[in-house]
Structure 1
Amino acid sequence: MIASGPMREPCDVLSSVRRELARFPAVLEALLKDLDAATWRARPTPAEWAPVEIVCHLRDEEVEDFGARIKIVLEGGAAFSPIDPERWAAERRNARAPLGDALGPAEVTWAEIIGPSRMIV
Structure 2
Amino acid sequence: MKKLNSKVYFSANVYQYLDPVMEQIMRNPNNCEWLVHPGQKGGSTAFILTIAMYATDKDGNQTDIAFFANDLTSFEKAKLSRNMNGFLLKFLKDSNFRAHIKKELPNLDLPGSLS
When normalised by structure 2's length, the TM-score is 0.26
**Largest Rg, 1 or 2:** 1
Bigger helix share? 1
Structure in which a larger fraction of residues adopt strand: 2
